[in-house]
Structure 1
Amino acid sequence: MILTVTLNTALDITYRTPRLVPHATHRVSEVIERPGGKGLNVARVLAALGHETVVTGFAGGRTGDVLRELLPNAPDPRGSSASGFVSVDTPGSFAPPVDALVPIAGATRRTVAVVDETTGDTTQLNEPGPVVSPAEWAAFLARYEELLAVADAVALCGSLPPGIHVGAYADLVRAARGAGVPVLLDTSGEPLRRGIAARPDLVKPNADELARLTGSREPLRATRDARRRGAHAVVASLGPDGV
């Protein structure tokens, strides 16, 4: 089983409109809602590739309820244009990720994308995440330790919501390593800097995140620096230049 952790889950809402014009009223041609957050996206792709996946993190409020309702019925990423994923060609039926999210009092954030169908441009609006209380964080840690006991690998993905200390990913990396579970870290900024020092097996920054971490925009030099900081391996996404 592959465990993905999304501490700052989101309900992704996409509006498509024929043309986005400032200061104008728009008719929407299509509305799409789906569970969002890096770890949930990773889990759906892994599930489509035939892997057993479990998702954990936080969900709360009405938006959290909707996210959890949608999770079992999320679009199969294989060839689904509505899903927002590149098509993957794999045999077999699509089994969605298993929901092991931890409930919280605060409402899960929304991310709103407005797509201009004429130009193909997307305008993105991201709400802040809910505040996570110390008791809710403790409940998550208990769930995480339970899941590590049966996980073959874990992916720690995305930003941290308010209320969670900046070294949280470092703690989660150390817990995975202590349990003998390979761990991937995909985050940015100070959580990445602290997390990488805990020696994850793999980090996956994009070019900007890697440059902010190392101070270098030369990919090979920056990758070597990231490994010296603690990562066993680095896969950097470089936009149109690939990885």
Structure 2
Amino acid sequence: MILTVTLNPALDLTYRLAAVRKHAGNRVPSVRQQAGGKGVNVARVLAALDQAATVTGLAGGHNGRALRADLAAAGLRDELVEVAGETRRTVAVADDQDTTVFLEPGPQVTTAEWRRFLEQYQRLLRDASAVVLSGSLPPGLPADAYRTLIELARSHGVPTVLDAEGHALLRALPAGPAVVKPNAHELAAATGTADPVRGVERLRAAGAAAVVASLGPDGLLAATPEGAWRARPPEPLPGNPTGAGDSAVAALALGLSTGAPWPERLRQAVALSAATVLAPQAGHYDSDAYHQLLDRVLVEQPDHPRPAQLEGEP
């Protein structure tokens, strides 16, 4: 079982229309609602791949109940911990040209609620083959929350995939996550360099065993203990990129769980990510496109990126 942790899940609303008129009223012909958050999206993709996945995290209020009802309807195992605050919403506005997403901050989490979650998390680790730690931290949680979760997973012999940004990412690196998966913006912000080759090595120098950076239509750049790879889709695919990174994380977690070779993990991650762009909502992918892309993803092993340190380190 792969355990996905979403400490700040959301009730996702997607408004789809042909074109958004700025500074004007817009009638929305299509509205979709589903349980969301990065780890939830990862679990959906794993379930679609016929892999056992469990969703845990923190949820509360009316939005939390709606979120959990959707998890049940999707057949996803729900091990969320109840909190008093209201689960946030996200709103994605998608037209034929682009997608704009509005993100609420999430509920205030108390020390007692965090303690209850840690107890639940350690129970779930007993049956986990890998853990995915994804997304933002809600207000009230310690800045090193992900470091704590990685250390607990390591104490149970369970490897982790971390998909976070900013201080939540940097504070977690000394715990040694097995894989870190930033996008290009998150990588540059965390490492102080726009060069993704230097960026991935700086995160490795800070503690990550492997770093896989999402570079949008340019695919993935990976730096691992076994070497470096670039993996690209055969051609750019137009569509909604929301959730594409989560699909890549699902593939990386599955590869970590099964011990698949790195080129295979990256091929599956790129194919899933590209197929997700063709789907209307995060957590879903175009199955036919995925299988067609698998054999066409380009995986190359260039010279290994040069070692580097984070800015300010000796």
Over the matched positions of the two proteins, sequence identity in percent amounts to: 55
Q: Is the CA contact (8 Å cut-off) linking 2:55 and 2:79 kept in structure 1?
A: yes
Which residue in 2 is equivalent to 1:102?
A: 81
For 1:235, what is the secondary structure of its paired residue?
Answer: strand
Which residue in 2 is equivalent to 1:50?
A: 50
TM-score of the aligned structures, taking structure 1 as reference length:
0.87
> Distance between the aligned counterparts of 1:114 and 1:216, measured in 2?
31
Could you list the per-position Cα deviations for residues 20-51 of structure 1 after superposition, in whole angstroms to 9, with x for gaps in the alignment? 21232222211100111000001110111111
Which residue in 2 is equivalent to 1:161?
A: 138
Which residue in 2 is equivalent to 1:127?
A: 104
Which residue in 2 is equivalent to 1:113?
A: 92
CA offset at residue 178 of structure 1? 0.8
For 1:176, what is the secondary structure of its paired residue?
Answer: helix
Which residue in 1 is equivalent to 2:310?
A: none
For 2:213, what is the secondary structure of its paired residue?
Answer: coil
> Distance between the aligned counterparts of 1:148 and 1:209, measured in 2?
28
Which residue in 2 is equivalent to 1:34?
A: 34
> Distance between the aligned counterparts of 1:122 and 1:200, measured in 2?
31
Q: Of the candidates 188, 198, 203, which is equivalent to residue 180 of structure 2?
A: 203
Which residue in 2 is equivalent to 1:16?
A: 16
Structure 2 unaligned residues grouped into runs of 5+: 221-314
> Distance between the aligned counterparts of 1:167 and 1:183, measured in 2?
15
> Distance between the aligned counterparts of 2:182 and 2:4, measured in 1?
16
Q: Of the candidates 145, 148, 152, which is equivalent to residue 125 of structure 2?
A: 148
Q: What aligned pairs does 1:59-70 form with structure 2 within 5 A after superposition?
A: 59-70=59-70
Between 1 and 2, higher relative CO (CA 8 Å, sep ≥ 6) is seen in 1
Q: Letter of the aligned partner of 1:104 in structure 2?
A: V
Q: Letter of the aligned partner of 2:21 in structure 1?
A: V
Cα RMSD (Å)? 1.1
- The reply on whether 1:212 has 2:185 as its aligned counterpart is no
Give runs of ≥4 in structure 1 deviating > 6 Å.
Answer: none
Q: Of the candidates 167, 170, 182, which is equivalent to residue 190 of structure 1?
A: 167
> Distance between the aligned counterparts of 2:179 and 2:164, measured in 1?
12
